Amino acid sequence: MKRILLALLFTLAALFVYGQINDSGILSLLKARQQLKGLDKQELQLKQDLKLLEKSVSPQSQTLRDATTKQKLDSVVLFGVSSDPSGWEKTSKDEYIYDSEGKWITGIYYNWNNATKVWVNESKDEYKYKANGKWDVAISYKWISATSNWENDAKQAFTYNAGGYATQILFYDWNNDIKEWVNDTKFDLTYNTDNTVKQFLVSSWSTTANDWENSMKYDYTYTNDKLTLVLASMWDTDTSDWTTAMKYEYEYDSGGKITRTTYSVSTGTSWMAMTKYEYTYDTNNRIATETRSDWNIVTQWTYAEMYEYKYDANGNNTEYYTYKWENGQWAKQTKELTTFDLNYTYADLILPSGYSVFFSPYTLATVSGGMNKPLQDIEYAWNTGTTNWDNKSKTIYYYSAGPGTGVVEQKADDASAITIYPNPVANAFNLNTTESNVQISIFDLSGSLLLSKQISGSDPVDVSFLSEGIYMAKIVTEKATVTRKFVKR
């Protein structure tokens, strides 16, 4: 899927600064989908600038619970379709390392070498924090295979106001010739009294002038506490003045839910509509459909794409569908199915946070609250020839208990039959596997986690602390993920 840091991934025609995101907002980062195809180049520039800002403005601090109730996301593994009997082959892996307080300090990203069957380093990010728990400096590295070393690549430095919101972000590139960081881009932000963003100014470093030069600016307008307009301007070096370039307009229903966003570009004397997104909601006020239309210059809107969202009873986005408008009807394109562990909410998770204050406009009405622990995504592509869904990609999330620095890789499932013996159990049981790396989690029938530990397959599992009754054991090995029931006597 989606590099959490990452690469992000944002779905809407415009993203905007609103306030510090909560844990449920991180799911939108995990699940965000980039929808830039066919959009005007100027809109793409806006999206790129906002995307850079996305993970920068107001990094989130973790509020830690007891370590026994927290689940720490250690790694995310992406699989592609293969001819292997399992049907999947590894493609990339993201690993996350945290300090003893649960703050994300390192992200390491790999690609899978299918010839040598090993993970190959690609890039790495390291984060340092200020005393207030906000990011101070973020440094990115790239892997140099010739020397087998990490080399500096990019750096960001953050300045905040008293409220903890970023007022300046400096971006640097590494100059390997002079072995120094050199200025690249600067973001300056000003805020209203309610901490909504007022202006976002982008500057670029001029080596000729040896100074910062204006590049883009975005001015934000609110009506009744709702964002209604983002006006983007470009710096004209000929006139040394700002030239209006594009705008985003937002419309809401009486309940405050976003119903339409419209993107237009300036012709100099008027506005020309380019793209609009329209939203419908289910009975629980969660986004149900998002429909994109493009202006075809002949004074009418033409459907382009539609995105459909479905949820479980807890509000988890378990199904996501994409469609294209073809021959006067919606044609299936992809679907994504996500499974969740309902025993944990997002408040129970330690995630690679640090993201800032950008939301899709409908986020507050659709994904806040009720989120659980994501386990796996499978994406399918519609095959018009067979009229079936074909596998496209699979993403698996792997967790361990509590804060710390451990990193573990999630493996692909298969149908291996692992059993517990003896069963019923007196004080300990064994597993019929010789795997050296086994993750075992034990739950009672209410779904409460009672034990989570890493063992060797030959090690006995001590359950002497359990009362008599029936329990479930989730067992993850190199080759299988299975759940087994056992009786404690």
Instruction: Give the domain CATH number at 475.
Output: 2.60.40.3080
Could you tell me if residue 412 is inside a domain? Answer: no
Q: What is the pLDDT of residue 316?
A: 86
**DSSP E strand boundaries for 257-402:** 258-266, 271-281, 287-295, 301-311, 317-326, 329-345, 349-350, 358-359, 372-383, 388-401
Domain final residue, candidates 374, 401, 428: 401
Are 296 and 165 members of one domain?
A: yes
Are 360 and 430 members of one domain?
A: no
pLDDT tens-digit series, residues 79-94: 999 877 678 999 999 9
Percent of the chain with pLDDT over 90: 45
pTM of model > 0.75: no
Are 328 and 447 members of one domain?
A: no
Could you tell me if residue 408 is inside a domain? Answer: no
Are 325 and 432 members of one domain?
A: no
Could you tell me if residue 370 is inside a domain? Answer: yes
> What span, in angstroms and rounded, lies between the C-alpha atoms of 218 and 233?
6
Mean pLDDT by 10 residues, the chain (489 residues): 25 30 29 29 44 43 46 91 84 90 89 92 93 88 94 94 86 96 95 86 96 96 90 95 95 90 92 94 90 88 95 88 97 95 82 45 34 89 96 92 46 55 87 79 70 79 83 77 81
What three-state secondary structure class fits 234? strand
Are 362 and 465 members of one domain?
A: no
Domain final residue, candidates 401, 435, 453: 401
Tokens matching residue 389: 């869904």
Are 307 and 443 members of one domain?
A: no
Assess contact for 32 and 8: CB atoms under 8 A.
yes
pLDDT tens-digit series, residues 22-51: 222 333 333 322 222 233 334 444 444 444
Are 191 and 287 members of one domain?
A: yes
Q: Any residues with CB less than 8 A from the CB of 429 and at least 6 apart, and which? A: 420, 421, 422, 423, 460, 461, 463, 486
Are 483 and 337 members of one domain?
A: no
> What span, in angstroms and rounded, lies between the C-alpha atoms of 192 and 198?
6
Q: What is the pLDDT of residue 419?
A: 82
Could you tell me if residue 425 is inside a domain? Answer: yes
* Domain count for the chain: 2
Q: What is the pLDDT of residue 14?
A: 30
Are 448 and 305 members of one domain?
A: no
Are 385 and 450 members of one domain?
A: no
Q: What is the pLDDT of residue 4?
A: 25
Could you tell me if residue 147 is inside a domain? Answer: yes
* Angle, CA 133 vertex, CA 130 and CA 137 arms, to 5°: 45
Could you tell me if residue 411 is inside a domain? Answer: no
CA 331 to chain centre: 27
Are 346 and 482 members of one domain?
A: no
Are 397 and 442 members of one domain?
A: no
Q: Any residues with CB less than 8 A from the CB of 289 and at least 6 apart, and which? A: 279, 280, 306, 307, 308, 309
Range of the domain at 239: 16-401
Domain final residue, candidates 371, 401, 431: 401
- The single-letter DSSP state of residue 425 is B
Could you tell me if residue 69 is inside a domain? Answer: yes
Could you tell me if residue 10 is inside a domain? Answer: no
Q: Any residues with CB less than 8 A from the CB of 438 and at least 6 apart, and which? A: 431, 454, 455, 456, 457, 475, 476, 477
Q: Could you count the other beta carbons within 10 Å of the beta carbon of residue 424? A: 12
> What span, in angstroms and rounded, lies between the C-alpha atoms of 92 and 427?
41
